[in-house]
Chain A
Amino acid sequence: MSDVERDLRDSLRARAEAVPVGRADGSGLARRLAAARRRRRARVGGAGLALLVAIAAVSVVARTDHDGPNVVAGPDPSSTTTTTTLEPSTTTEPEQAPTTPAPTTSAPPPGITVPPRASTTSPGPPPTARTTSTTAALTPLPDDAVWPAPGTTTSFPTPQRAADDFTRRFLGMGNPQLAPAQVTGTNATVGVRAYVTGGQVSVVALRSTPARGWVVVGCAASTIQVDTPSAGTRVSSPLSVAGRAFAFEGQVDVEVRQDGVAAPIGRSSGTGGGTELLPFEATVTFPRPPVARGTVVVSEARADVADQGPATATVVRVGF
């Protein structure tokens, strides 16, 4: 060690020892926690409203561009429906009323049948209702389907029901608030918030399949952008997950899940921005999965409760 290094060490030690530490203040710690929660609730409320407006704008563009065939979303007519509730064959549907009014500024594109929307007070299926399902002979899901879970016979006749089941059972949200589905041909998006009173929106992307109804093919939060891995790529351990994030204290959780197993097979965390979108990177190690496909889930934890799933999440379909 050189003289400069010795002086540096001594100087810093002397300076640090001179910093008054005082007594531990446990009540101050509790006050800081309460304040952090208040700030977070206020922040996510504003960001959620902004994202809903953005979703409305995207929806207008998507509908304007649509020139595809008259595709009607709904259950596969060949499937054997055992449910007692029949869904109307529509491309947009009256759904569970969102806390924030849904965008209604766009006219339906040519060829799309849009029935009169029910009153906004019409609740549709209750949030806690089990998803309407069919028990058709098991038809393999497409490779890019995140939900329903592979190996199950569940199928969803509407994108709303698929998104609701996905956010509850895959993401673990306790009481997700769903906006009406925005359907463009065989594709649809559904905005989801984790909070009843507001908050950021995660957009669930879905596709209608002939044999299995609506399937979830991804989920994206505007505050969590995942650059790597990209959807459909093959990954292995150790996996570097990178992108840009704007989350409380900049912290995002990263999970790797394999098809058929609810619990993550690997998890890590990264730090992005606390006040703006900033790059994050996390490395996840996981055992070699016995299945060919799975997902990478990057999420922001809720600050108020621990067992109600994430506040927002971005889900990327990957292969192993």
Chain B
Amino acid sequence: MVAVVAVGMRGWEEIELSYRAHRGDLVRLAGLLLDEPGAREEVVQDAFVALHLRRGTVAPEKVPAYLRSSVLNAARSRLRHRRVVDRLGWILPTTPPTPEDEAISGDRRAGVLTAVRRLSRRQQEVVVLRYWMDLSEADIAATLGISPGSVKVHASRALAAIARSVGEEP
């Protein structure tokens, strides 16, 4: 904590308060996108560290989008770093099933998640932000740094792919 005090206690206290307020959702977001349990908390902490290092340059209303974006970027970097480029490692490990997998009841839901796992990373991110975080297209666009039109396209294609996978019309 000594190193932290040196950069300004007030700023750090604000970060810690924000960390306690937002970390739950962000850890879950990381948990949906990373299959490394130990990495979830780390990518979230890194997001807050980056926010602290950039204090004063991120407008307060943009902090949630900044944190989400940082977590997604860090998750992407982690996967790239580990050379896990196969999509099977993106959402939910395939085998063996974890207790988290077992918590999901029903073959249909498992099939949906399997279909999500086969999407491109960008489509998975859009799906998670839209259907789990309930973000608007504009917020998703701001988080991912893409246009709202691209969000629409990714969501539409993802939904179509999932529907095909579970044998339904989108």
The chain A residues found within 8 Å of chain B, CB to CB, are 2-5, 7-22, 24-30, 32-34, 36-37, 248-251, 253, 267, 269, 271, 274-275, 281, 301, 303-306
Determine if A19 and B100 form an interchain contact, defined as CB atoms under 8 angstroms apart: yes
Report the tally of A-B residue pairs with Cβ distances under 8 A.
Answer: 148
Nearest-CB distance from B147 to chain A (Å)?
11
Contact pattern, B 83-122, Cβ under 8 Å of A = 1, otherwise 0 = 0000000001000000111011100111011001000000
Contact pattern, B 3-30, Cβ under 8 Å of A = 1, otherwise 0 = 1100110010001100110011001110
Q: A15-B92, A249-B53 are in contact. Are A8 and B112 (CB under 8 A)?
A: yes
Q: A5-B159, A14-B109, A29-B48 are in contact. Are A305 and B57 (CB under 8 A)?
A: no
Contact pattern, B 49-64, Cβ under 8 Å of A = 1, otherwise 0 = 1101111111000000
Determine if B4 and A7 form an interchain contact, defined as CB atoms under 8 angstroms apart: no
A76 to B112, CA, bound (A): 76
Determine if B56 and A15 form an interchain contact, defined as CB atoms under 8 angstroms apart: no
Chain A residue at smallest Cβ distance from B50: A249
- B residues 156-170 near A (Cβ < 8 Å) are 159, 162-163, 166, 168, 170
Residues of B within 8 A of A251 (CB): 50, 54, 57
Chain B residue at smallest Cβ distance from A269: B57
Residues of B within 8 A of A21 (CB): 23-24, 27-28
Q: A15-B104, A26-B16, A301-B54 are in contact. Are A33 and B49 (CB under 8 A)?
A: yes
Per DSSP, chain B at the interface is: helix
Chain B residue at smallest Cβ distance from A40: B53
Residues of B within 8 A of A27 (CB): 1
Among candidates B58, B132, B166, residue contacting A16 with C-beta atoms closer than 8 Å: B132
Chain B residue at smallest Cβ distance from A29: B45
Determine if A306 and B56 form an interchain contact, defined as CB atoms under 8 angstroms apart: yes
Determine if A4 and B55 form an interchain contact, defined as CB atoms under 8 angstroms apart: no
B77 at the interface (CB under 8 A from A): yes
B128 at the interface (CB under 8 A from A): yes
Determine if B100 and A18 form an interchain contact, defined as CB atoms under 8 angstroms apart: yes
Residues of B within 8 A of A30 (CB): 1, 3-4
A-B contact pairs, 20 of them (CB 8 A): A2-B168, A4-B166, A8-B127, A9-B131, A11-B112, A12-B128, A14-B105, A15-B92, A15-B104, A16-B29, A20-B37, A21-B24, A29-B15, A29-B16, A29-B19, A29-B48, A34-B4, A36-B50, A269-B57, A301-B57
Determine if A15 and B57 form an interchain contact, defined as CB atoms under 8 angstroms apart: no
Determine if A34 and B32 form an interchain contact, defined as CB atoms under 8 angstroms apart: no
Determine if B32 and A25 form an interchain contact, defined as CB atoms under 8 angstroms apart: no
How many positions in chain B have a CB within 8 Å of any CB in the partner chain?
A: 61
Residues of B within 8 A of A303 (CB): 53
Determine if B40 and A19 form an interchain contact, defined as CB atoms under 8 angstroms apart: yes
A9 to B116, CA, bound (A): 11
A275 to B77, CA, bound (A): 10
Residues of A within 8 A of B8 (CB): 306
Chain A residue at smallest Cβ distance from B53: A303
A62 to B166, CA, bound (A): 65
Determine if B41 and A25 form an interchain contact, defined as CB atoms under 8 angstroms apart: yes
Can you add 16 more A-B contacts, CB < 8 Å, to A251-B54, A271-B73?
A2-B163, A8-B162, A11-B113, A11-B116, A12-B32, A15-B31, A15-B113, A17-B28, A18-B103, A28-B45, A29-B45, A249-B70, A251-B57, A274-B77, A304-B7, A306-B8
Residues of A within 8 A of B32 (CB): 12, 15-16, 19
Determine if A10 and B109 form an interchain contact, defined as CB atoms under 8 angstroms apart: yes
Which 8 residue pairs are nearest across A and B when measured between Cβ atoms? A19-B31, A18-B100, A18-B103, A12-B132, A11-B109, A16-B28, A249-B50, A32-B45
Nearest-CB distance from B170 to chain A (Å)?
6
User: Among A2, A26, A304, which residue has the most Cβ atoms of chain B within 10 A?
Assistant: A26
A4 to B116, CA, bound (A): 11
Contact pattern, B 135-165, Cβ under 8 Å of A = 1, otherwise 0 = 0000000000100000000000001001100
A17 to B109, CA, bound (A): 14
Chain A residue at smallest Cβ distance from B23: A24
Residues of B within 8 A of A305 (CB): 7
Determine if B57 and A18 form an interchain contact, defined as CB atoms under 8 angstroms apart: no
Determine if A29 and B27 form an interchain contact, defined as CB atoms under 8 angstroms apart: no
Among candidates B15, B48, B113, B163, residue contacting A4 with C-beta atoms closer than 8 Å: B163
Q: A8-B127, A32-B49, A248-B53 are in contact. Are A37 and B3 (CB under 8 A)?
A: yes
Among candidates B20, B104, B127, B163, residue contacting A24 with C-beta atoms closer than 8 Å: B20
Chain A residue at smallest Cβ distance from B8: A306
